Amino acid sequence: MSTEMRADPGLYDYALRPPRLPDPPKPENDHLPIDIEVRVGMYEMQQLIRQTEKRAHDLFLQNLVKGTTHLSLGMEAIATGFARAMRPDDYTFATYRGHAHTIARGADIKKVLAELLGRETGLLKGKGGSMHLTDVEHGMMGSYAIIGAHLCIANGAAWSSQMRGTGQVTVCFFGDGTTNIGAFHEAVNFAALWKLPVVFVCENNLYMEYTPIDLVTPVEHPAADRASAYGLEAVLIDGNDADEVYVTAEEAISRARRGEGPTLVEAVTYRQGGHSRADPGKYRPSEELQAWLDKDPIKLYHQRLLRLGVPESRLTEIAQDVARRVDEATEFAKASPRPGPEHLLTDVWADGGSEWRN
Amino acid sequence: MRQLLTPSGDLVGEAPFGLDLCVRLYRAMVVARSYDRKCVALQKQGRLATYAPFEGQEAAQIGSAAALEPDDWMVATYRDAAAMWAQGYPMELLVAGRTGDERGGSPPDHVNVLPPSITVGGHMVHAVGLAWAERLQGSSRIAITYFGDGATSEGDFHEALNFAGVYGVGCVFFCQNNGWAISMPRSAQTASETIAQKAIAYGMPGVQVDGNDLFAVYEVTRQAVERARAGEGPTLIEAVTYRLGPHTTSDDPGRYRDAGEVEEWRRRDPLERVRIFLSERGRWDPEWQAEVEEKAAREVERAVELAESLPPPAPGDVFGGMFESPPRHLREQQATLELYRAAGEG
């Protein structure tokens, strides 16, 4: 009788693991039927996310950001493609890696950076910080730090839209590690059964913190290979191609809006940095990291737009304009005051204060 | 759906065992049914607490348990007394547990069956832990865990199967899909066509079997057990069966399901088809049935007598049966109780 475990403990030695290389980019996606101005807009959005997040990282190194930050560098195409396909009154639910989704839904980056710096002018008056970015005005219903829990909350929002008959769709983002959490299972099962207008998007960046997802998942595609358990179709896409994300999002969102129920999308991507600001990400083979850096979503998108005839000068202008806006936002955030102690007990309850409870 | 013995007793494939074992398992099913009906009656008399009957699921439980080695682990629910008894859990302790006596939850050391889990789904994780521990110790023991269709929507189901799948743990996941999770029909439980197909999500084989077919249940479980024992990993079995009775003695299924549905399943009785099979092979006649039933009734009576003749538990017993070395706060409470009792008696 064999007593050998299937997961060879040797696999935990990262040096022994084969690199997980990306699929090649798809030039054929140049021909997807997407208006060129929509594409230029998505280029600008990816630039805005990238540059804002890089600035956030710099500010962190200057000790101006309190707490921690989780960046989406390399994953901008997913937030961008989905947000572009959403209606202004649709809902977004994200994880603590939520800067990209907040910005993509149209939040003012001044308020985003101010929030990261803990300033009164921030999205949450400086009391939430990087891991809790929320902007209800733009449908960004929160960044959640408990892995998996927000899928159930997203269901609640979707259910509410269903009952109110508003046609709003909820899009809920989460990482690959979440797919092994019980709440994922409960939420997707429930949504599929009740045909909730929700789109679940697994941003599979191959690592849950420092653990390669394939070490703890018995199937190759942690979300797509699970779809059948809920009677859903498997949808596996290139998460580094904003156009592919956009057309997938349009289809899934329209389906949900038509009352045909949820879609579970797995977008394969890679975080170019570590898990959080405290992690240099040294556990990843350099060959793997390099291959994914070469598949940078913004770089590839830039090349696509050039192929489609957008002048290089226009793209440069966009990038420069974004840089200027990020600078302005940085100055705004730095100049903003910190919330005073009188704000300590406010904004917790819907009725404004906690006084009547005391 | 795998089937070897049709509801009318026709063999459609090869019998997985000889006539002698078939007779033994038939007798076991008769005992199980006798136990189940007795418990319902005892509850009505106020002698048992709430009871969850399993009538209709005897083949699923007896057939699967028969495929185990005597020392394999079993982690089951409040509706799996037949399987637990078949795996060596003393019947009197099963009864005692239902009277509310904590001693019912402490089987003898050589019995590798955990007390029944009331928490839906939570116990599956324990089964995975037991099987994994056996594997790490180089033992060939495997674990089987029983649960219902409702439990498959619990997060614990997902985490248990994922873990077992990725580490190739020798655990057999035995789902008795009895059609109803209390008042929730299977169709309202999950949008997936079968429960067996959920195995795909965990990289393990999934098999759907006629849960009222003793032969097929035994055969698919035997194969899953063999796989687990050989280190080839877990299997998810969906045994399609039916709970003929209420969810528990506190439930009135007439309020949520059709009497016609129950009648239809009554015609697929798991005992009846084996009875026909044995009868056609000269191993069954009405006198023998009467004798089997009488012996079963005596065995159940004996268990009830033993359970009811246990001396009443002492107040301090409430601290036992939980911790190998109790934590400080419980030791303190125990000491307080002793002081209090000493003062009361003095």
Please report the pLDDT score of residue A14 as a whole number: 60
Among the partner-chain residues B154, B198, B204, the one whose CB lies closest to the CB of A182 is B154
pLDDT tier, B345 (very low <50, low <70, confident <90, very high otherwise): low
The percent of residues in chain B predicted with pLDDT above 70, rounded, is 99
Among A24, A27, A30, residue whose Cα is nearest residue A308: A30
User: How far is the C-alpha of A356 from the C-alpha of A15, rounded, in Å?
Assistant: 58
Among the partner-chain residues A182, A192, A229, the one whose CB lies closest to the CB of B159 is A182
Is residue B243 annotated as part of the catalytic site, yes or no?
Answer: yes
Task: Give yes or no for residue A348 having a pLDDT over 90.
Answer: no
The percent of residues in chain A predicted with pLDDT above 70, rounded, is 93
Task: Give yes or no for residue A11 having a pLDDT over 60.
Answer: no
- Please report whether residue A6 resides in a domain: no
pLDDT tier, A355 (very low <50, low <70, confident <90, very high otherwise): low
- Please report whether residue A339 resides in a domain: no
Summarize pLDDT for B301-329 with one digit per residue, the tens.
999 999 999 998 888 888 888 898 999 99
What CATH architecture does domain B19-313 belong to?
A: 3-Layer(aba) Sandwich (3.40)
- Please tell me the total number of residues recorded for chain A in this structure: 358
Domain count, chain A: 1
Q: Mean pLDDT lowest for which of A9-18, A67-76, A343-352?
A: A9-18
Give the sign of the dihedral formed by CA A25, CA A27, CA A30, CA A32: negative
DSSP A294-325: HT-HHHHHHHHHHHTT--HHHHHHHHHHHHHH
pLDDT tier, A357 (very low <50, low <70, confident <90, very high otherwise): low
Please report the pLDDT score of residue A279 as a whole number: 85
Average pLDDT over residues A103-124: 97
Summarize pLDDT for A240-298 with one digit per residue, the tens.
999 999 999 999 999 999 999 999 999 999 999 988 878 888 889 989 999 999 999 99
pLDDT tier, A350 (very low <50, low <70, confident <90, very high otherwise): confident
Task: Give yes or no for residue B186 having a pLDDT over 80.
Answer: yes
Please report the pLDDT score of residue B327 as a whole number: 95
- Please report whether residue A338 resides in a domain: no
Which of A5, A152, A232 is most worth mutating to test chain B (most B CB atoms within 10 A of its CB)?
A: A5
Sequence ranges of the domains in chain B = 19-313, 314-346
- Please report whether residue A27 resides in a domain: no
User: How far is the C-alpha of B59 from the C-alpha of B39, rounded, in Å?
Assistant: 19
* Catalytic, out of B227, B247, B268, B273: B247
Among A99, A81, A100, residue whose Cα is nearest residue A32: A81
Average pLDDT over residues A10-22: 72
Tell me the chain A residues in contact with residue B135 when contact means C-beta distances shorter than 8 Å.
3, 5
- Please report whether residue A349 resides in a domain: no
The percent of residues in chain A predicted with pLDDT above 90, rounded, is 84
Please report the pLDDT score of residue B320 as a whole number: 84
pLDDT tier, A1 (very low <50, low <70, confident <90, very high otherwise): very low
Asked if B158 and A5 come within 8 Å (Cβ–Cβ), the reply is no
Which of B166, B197, B226, B232 is most worth mutating to test chain A (most A CB atoms within 10 A of its CB)?
A: B166
Q: Which two tokens stand for residue B204?
A: 């393990």
- By CA distance, what is A183's nearest residue in B? B155
Question: Residues in chain A whose beta carbon is closer than 8 A to a beta carbon of chain B?
Answer: 1-7, 180-186, 189-190, 192-193, 215-219, 225-226, 228-232, 261
Which residues fall within 8 angstroms of residue A268, CB to CB, at 6 or more apart? A22, A23, A204, A206, A236, A237, A238, A239, A240
Task: Give yes or no for residue A354 having a pLDDT over 80.
Answer: no
Q: What does pTM read for this prediction? A: 0.92
Summarize pLDDT for A226-239 with one digit per residue, the tens.
999 999 999 999 99
- How far out from the chain centre does Cα B217 lie? 13
Asked if B200 and A4 come within 8 Å (Cβ–Cβ), the reply is no
Among B185, B180, B208, B187, residue whose Cα is nearest residue B196: B208
Is residue B247 annotated as part of the catalytic site, yes or no?
Answer: yes
Please check whether residue A262 is in contact with residue A98, taking contact to mean a CB–CB distance below 8 angstroms. no
Task: Using alpha carbons only, give the angle A70, A71, A73 rounded to the nearest 5 degrees.
Answer: 160
Secondary structure (H, E, C), B59-99: HHHHHHHCCCCCCCEEECECCCHHHHHHCCCCHHHHHHHHC
Please report the pLDDT score of residue A67 as a whole number: 83
Please check whether residue B34 is in contact with residue B293, taking contact to mean a CB–CB distance below 8 angstroms. yes
Tell me the chain B residues in contact with residue A224 when contact means C-beta distances shorter than 8 Å.
none
CA-based nearest distance A301→chain B, Å: 33
Burial label, B323 (beta-carbon count in 10 A; 0-12, 13-18, 19+): exposed
Task: Give yes or no for residue A3 having a pLDDT over 50.
Answer: no
Average pLDDT over residues B41-52: 96
Task: Using alpha carbons only, give the angle A117, A47, A62 rounded to the nearest 5 degrees.
Answer: 30
Task: Give yes or no for residue A2 having a pLDDT over 50.
Answer: no
User: How far is the C-alpha of A263 from the C-alpha of B123, rounded, in Å?
Assistant: 31
Asked if A2 and B231 come within 8 Å (Cβ–Cβ), the reply is yes
* Catalytic, out of B2, B27, B98, B243: B243
Tell me the chain A residues in contact with residue B202 when contact means C-beta distances shorter than 8 Å.
218-219
Please report the pLDDT score of residue B8 as a whole number: 96
Average pLDDT over residues B98-127: 95
Average pLDDT over residues B84-111: 95
Please report the pLDDT score of residue B10 as a whole number: 96
Q: Which structural domain, as residue segments, surrounds residue A325?
A: 36-330
Average pLDDT over residues B161-165: 97
Tell me the chain A residues in contact with residue B166 when contact means C-beta distances shorter than 8 Å.
6-7, 215-218
Average pLDDT over residues A214-225: 95
Q: What is the CATH number of the domain that holds A264?
A: 3.40.50.970
Is residue B256 annotated as part of the catalytic site, yes or no?
Answer: yes
Task: Give yes or no for residue B282 having a pLDDT over 60.
Answer: yes
